[in-house]
Structure 1
């Protein structure tokens, strides 16, 4: 009997190949982790683990850990008790004293673990020694585990070391965030890759804010992180506790025409992945409202091309054009005419005449707004705000009779 075959599509074959490669990688990772665990000191008796950790404020211990002195670390940490001690640091911080009526220096104690210190500073050899002495990989002394701090500082070698020895990729901090939430700088891309390869959940939400790693990457304009998360199955439609999508976060994080380029690239990836350009948060603030409030004309154009509504009001009754006019006052060193022209081209209504005063010092922007009227609007609410030298140089788009009303 002839062997029956089934024709698979190219995408199916690719998916099967990726699944096979992932399973092979997982087998190798587990074998390596088992080998590393065998090198660690055997766990102590249950009664010993139940004993409280001892605290240490010894400057010699602090200096060895914070400087990454491997010889001193090896000499000071020779058993499980030492490797799991609580390291306490005390620093004086200014705090307002209501009783005394002025600022006073107040001592503040911070607790952490030796492994957390080593991992956060990239001291791989010190971290390896502490692990082999029995340091708990997922201990959250001070609120975060060593893996959290290594990711926050973009220490990819330490992230790899911790994961190899069996650290949990989805360990939660006391704030309810995972290490993937703390990959917040471009240099942390490799850390994010290592976490995902080790089984980190790409759509995990923080406990209170419900922010996902995709929200974090989009808000910080991390285009490569966004691409990585989307490739691993991140959902562009997930919302935070405030109803914000990742696209909302990207547009809210952009600042100004130049500062918004990275956020624009992240927003483009999200839109290409199916993000809704009209998705509004609980206050009905859309991505376009955020882009206009930050003065990002190119980002606003991108949203408008993908279906954003130029005239929709938010819960306060402000349209994207209103937000753009406010941005003129908050960030005067940009060219608002690009943003105004884009909004008007996509159906925004002309602004109320009394709002023209906000653009009095921007001739090109004022020209764009005036050209949106069928005739020049009443000038008594805005014409006095225009600088005299602009009238003398000839304000584009404004007729001579209007200039005469300003006594020129």
Structure 2
């Protein structure tokens, strides 16, 4: 084969260019044509020759590399070996096939199909950028690698941002990488900054002209949607400073606030999502914007059992009783999720909603709630304490598994005993006052300098027993 790529003597025959496959690849990959004509820093001032004429043309044409020593040097970041392999006259824009984890049907010849692992096309530039090998990346760029080459559907800049490698992103941008390049999946580099460590990548992209208003092609997400969905406080703050749109809606009709509230998260991340929502709300985000399913941020926050976010939205004017398209209120959502979100303390959400005037469950449905939420007795406690009386029958005891009763004996014994005795006078006084102050309970209580214990009692504090 006529090429000037230098290899070890044991592997000189391994890089190959299959002309038929290469022609098919050229026709099916729109990225190739733009890359072929994109000047790189090492090519400034040079005149390109037609294909097959001159070393520059040979160096820029994509070749298929199967040399394991070259691949190992790239994947391990062996700068010394890369300096040996990638000389100034070498073919830099090599295509390397990496095997993905998913099986798919493929055909290399017409009529013959086989089930094999998906082949992902990558290049030396992509490999070094995705692994943070800045020295290797600089070498390749100085030797003439095409900075926006994207045989696998993404540029090296996409890879650097996805890996949160700010140094590599900075280097690629300095060599002319397009901060607005669109991947095959319709994502720009800014949309791939999904981890807390990627904040410096966001800064670099914005400084080099990336637009905070650009959207992903399928989902219609802006960078603010992405940052909010992943609970990235620093990203949200930075994007807002650069003019990100608070009320931009994606294909699902979600604003960034909706996206943050809708994203399931672990208990240890609840504070992070609260701070994101707080930042968006304080910047002017609407707390009542509905998505395509007529779900508001409060509906979504309650599905994820984040009490602090629910409290934030309610204090900013969220409608506690509005229904989604499916007919659910926020209280319905938290009761449906309680059994699966025990570590999130769903009882706090039930308490918050009731104290903000949520319409209570029809008493005839309390048995159904008990069957579903028995593993979260405090949610049952808050709900039962919002009524002056409930009809407790033998079916209630049958609705709670024995092992749950044994785990919370004091509470469930007190609940089942309500079938034989009335509620206490203290509880009845609480219900009377709550009914009288309905709709303005929190406002009035904040002005009444009540003893702390009485204040908590009126707001349905948990005692793990009913009386």
**Common fold by TM > 0.5:** yes
Query: Using the alignment, how far apart are the partners of 2:343 and 2:101 within structure 1?
Result: 40
Q: Deviations over 1:72-114 (max 9, x none)?
A: 2122222476111212234675679xxxxxxx98343221111
The reply to whether residue 365 of structure 1 matches residue 385 of structure 2 is no
Higher mean displacement: 218-227 or 60-69: 60-69
Task: Provide the residue aligned with 2:269 in structure 1.
Answer: 259
Query: Using the alignment, how far apart are the partners of 2:46 and 2:146 within structure 1?
Result: 10
Indicate if the aligned counterparts of 1:40 and 1:131 stay in contact, CA closer than 8 A.
no
Report 1:86-105 matches (<5 A): 86-90=95-99
TM superposition shift of 1:176: 1.1
SS of the equivalent of 1:333 reads helix
Higher mean displacement: 356-365 or 154-163: 356-365
Change (3 A) 1:288 1:381: farther
Query: Using the alignment, how far apart are the partners of 1:57 and 1:215 within structure 2?
Result: 40
Task: Provide the residue aligned with 1:24 in structure 2.
Answer: none
Q: TM-score, normalised by structure 1?
A: 0.81
The reply to whether residue 172 of structure 1 matches residue 182 of structure 2 is yes
Report 1:204-353 matches (<5 A): 204-255=214-265, 257-352=267-362, 353=366
Task: Provide the residue aligned with 2:398 in structure 1.
Answer: 384
Task: Provide the residue aligned with 2:19 in structure 1.
Answer: none
SS of the equivalent of 1:82 reads coil
C-alpha RMSD of matched pairs (Å): 2.8
Task: Provide the residue aligned with 1:47 in structure 2.
Answer: 50
Query: Using the alignment, how far apart are the partners of 1:394 and 1:72 within structure 2?
Result: 70
SS of the equivalent of 2:119 reads strand
The reply to whether residue 59 of structure 1 matches residue 68 of structure 2 is yes
**Partner of residue 419 from structure 2, selected from 398, 402, 407:** 402
Change (3 A) 1:233 1:392: closer
Report 1:133-144 matches (<5 A): 133-144=143-154
Task: Provide the residue aligned with 2:410 in structure 1.
Answer: 393
Task: Provide the residue aligned with 2:30 in structure 1.
Answer: none
Higher mean displacement: 353-362 or 54-63: 353-362
Change (3 A) 1:270 1:133: same
**Partner of residue 85 from structure 1, selected from 77, 94, 97:** 94
Change (3 A) 1:246 1:217: same
Indicate if the aligned counterparts of 2:267 and 2:343 stay in contact, CA closer than 8 A.
no
Change (3 A) 1:391 1:227: closer
TM superposition shift of 1:301: 0.8
**Partner of residue 118 from structure 1, selected from 128, 135, 146:** 128
In the comparison of the two structures, how many residue pairs are matched?
A: 363
Gaps in structure 1 of 5+ consecutive residues: 1-35, 97-103
SS of the equivalent of 1:47 reads coil
Indicate if the aligned counterparts of 1:371 and 1:397 stay in contact, CA closer than 8 A.
no
TM superposition shift of 1:43: 4.6
SS of the equivalent of 2:91 reads helix
Q: Deviations over 1:351-402 (max 9, x none)?
A: 1324431333433322210122242245466453245458952559858441
Task: Provide the residue aligned with 1:183 in structure 2.
Answer: 193
Indicate if the aligned counterparts of 1:283 and 1:314 stay in contact, CA closer than 8 A.
yes
Task: Provide the residue aligned with 2:137 in structure 1.
Answer: 127
Q: Deviations over 1:129-157 (max 9, x none)?
A: 21122211111121110000001111111
Query: Using the alignment, how far apart are the partners of 1:333 and 1:370 within structure 2?
Result: 21
Higher mean displacement: 121-130 or 254-263: 254-263
Indicate if the aligned counterparts of 2:180 and 2:188 stay in contact, CA closer than 8 A.
yes
SS of the equivalent of 1:127 reads helix
Indicate if the aligned counterparts of 2:40 and 2:146 stay in contact, CA closer than 8 A.
no
Change (3 A) 1:253 1:146: same
Query: Using the alignment, how far apart are the partners of 2:84 and 2:129 within structure 1?
Result: 19
Q: Deviations over 1:142-182 (max 9, x none)?
A: 11100000011111111111111111111111111111111
Q: TM-score, normalised by structure 2?
A: 0.71
Indicate if the aligned counterparts of 2:298 and 2:310 stay in contact, CA closer than 8 A.
yes
Q: Deviations over 1:267-295 (max 9, x none)?
A: 11010111111111101111111111111
SS of the equivalent of 2:50 reads helix
Task: Provide the residue aligned with 1:32 in structure 2.
Answer: none
Query: Using the alignment, how far apart are the partners of 2:414 and 2:381 within structure 1?
Result: 5
Change (3 A) 1:388 1:136: closer
SS of the equivalent of 1:88 reads strand
